Structure 1
């Protein structure tokens, strides 16, 4: 059988990691190769539970992709920002407001004054992203991506089955519930693969926004998988209330829980506050290319705690809303997406701002 011909893609050489003396968060490193055995999963579940009860973020290594495969994915991810025409960006624009969906292209400057992402002072965002559902046939894609859709689809499947499923088993073991509990709530109807491109801003805009590109926030879904890249900009709020940087580790993943997982776990697995800021001095002026896999439960899953968990019965359950009022994933997803970066947030003091989504108070942080 002849070998598969891989379409050529321009190579985007990765930049050098920063050499600045940054204060990094001390995150756990989960070796996913250990997840192949029951003993390994038990060990990793304890490690994961510790990571989620402290920083809320962790690294994953030995996930199954080689460095060469990693670089190929970033080369493909670069195409929407370097090879889409302005006409294509408009034609394939996501229906963010009318459909509550990020699927498609989001242009720079979409988010407005005082919203989640534009910080304040009338500065528009400098973030573009292109989002693809796991069902790559659900929407049409620009011509440059069409020969690459089989690779993109395989990458999405890899994230969902080989990474997300293994992590969801560890989340369940940590709550002492059946290993497939969370997997059964993630039947591939909502997750998405997303790539984004942060452009540098003028020094005047950086001053106005205090060098913040994306305000402190929590993610919408259950688990976010970020493929580590060398331009430092991501920070998390540590348990002591201090912002610390996320270190780049070659061919590693940076993973965190989102709101949906916090609700499903009764507050046991907290969604960690994080933000994006201007890169350090030796990386100023660089564009930042990101590759993400945002996992969410099936749309019809109601975001109520797994009260059957012996762990939650021992530790107690923290509910954001009564179970009877809890939204479905679909209602919460559409509510947050359609308002994201487009509404005035209510200032509550100490840098905290709030909005109400599907009956739940959602906080953002300066």
Structure 2
């Protein structure tokens, strides 16, 4: 299994994107319409934020939509389904109306605007080429179903390793995303891997400025598994690089929660079921 790199300047970009998502659940977009210089600056600025003490003034709160907004420290970070150790990470959730430090707010807002537009474009490509695989409520409507209030920009910080980590703990244990699609700018530090169909792990290709796109569980449910939600993880760095932190900025694109994904689920009921499972 190979995750394809799709040049968005290519006349074949649309079909190449849909095909690699069908085969692998992942695609890498080259020359995406996102400001690469801004993304590099955001990575530097957010690394400084996480390494400072100001983050404790922005502890997360639940929003009316059920999302969390703000800083989530390592001691309350996630434990992936099927694992018994917390991931080695901390993160900040950004949704509409999130209060951000002034020095970070403008870049985050501009990046979110570009990411939403890119997400809508990609969902539109899936509308055209995968419409027959979708239920009536979503057929031809994926792009219009994008919900800014239910979608989420997560700024992740994987801190340097100290040697005191719990044995077996990793930066992000194997998991699948819950949402429709995820847009993930390629990090300057490696570590992201995807599981191939034979169960082997492989590095996801790409270079800074590229954007990784993957299908989430909601899209897999809506497409009767024609667009797979593939397991992925972030492994710990080798000892020579263990003193380096890693910044990741996934944008989890979700639909309106009353949209019907299948005869079994609306997006809202599917989300609740998955969150209940994570909370166990």
TM-score of the superposition, structure 2-length normalised? 0.85
- Which residue is 2:135 aligned to? none
- Which residue is 1:95 aligned to? 62
Q: Distance in 2 between matches of 1:164 and 1:99?
A: 20
Alpha-carbon deviation of 1:290? 0.8
Q: Deviations over 1:96-145 (max 9, x none)?
A: 9x984232111112148xx427943xx54431100111x2x2x433xxx2
- Which residue is 2:216 aligned to? 258
- Which residue is 1:132 aligned to? 94
- Which residue is 1:353 aligned to? none
Worse-matched range after superposition: 171-180 or 282-291: 171-180
The runs of at least 4 aligned residues of structure 1 exceeding 6 Å deviation read none
Q: Given that residues 67 and 150 in structure 2 are in contact (C-alpha distance below 8 angstroms), is that contact kept between their aligned partners in structure 1?
A: no
**How many residue pairs were aligned?**
275
Q: Given that residues 94 and 104 in structure 1 are in contact (C-alpha distance below 8 angstroms), is that contact kept between their aligned partners in structure 2?
A: yes
- Which residue is 2:127 aligned to? 172
Are 1:227 and 2:182 an aligned pair? no
- Please say which structure displays the higher CA radius of gyration: 1
* Unpaired runs of at least 5, structure 2: 133-137
| Match of residue 146, structure 1, among 74, 77, 102 | 102
- Which residue is 1:190 aligned to? 150
Alpha-carbon deviation of 1:226? 0.8
Distance 1:159 1:337, change over 3 A: same
* Unpaired runs of at least 5, structure 1: 1-24, 35-39, 305-322, 344-366
- Which residue is 1:156 aligned to? 112
RMSD: 2.8
Are 1:271 and 2:232 an aligned pair? no
| Match of residue 303, structure 1, among 252, 261, 267 | 261
- Which residue is 1:74 aligned to? 43
Q: Distance in 2 between matches of 1:106 and 1:339?
A: 19
Q: Given that residues 54 and 239 in structure 1 are in contact (C-alpha distance below 8 angstroms), is that contact kept between their aligned partners in structure 2?
A: no
Q: Given that residues 81 and 197 in structure 1 are in contact (C-alpha distance below 8 angstroms), is that contact kept between their aligned partners in structure 2?
A: yes
Q: Distance in 1 between matches of 2:209 and 2:189?
A: 14
- Which residue is 1:46 aligned to? 15
Alpha-carbon deviation of 1:26? 3.3
| Match of residue 288, structure 1, among 246, 251, 255 | 246
Q: Given that residues 219 and 271 in structure 1 are in contact (C-alpha distance below 8 angstroms), is that contact kept between their aligned partners in structure 2?
A: yes
Distance 1:105 1:331, change over 3 A: farther
Distance 1:102 1:49, change over 3 A: same
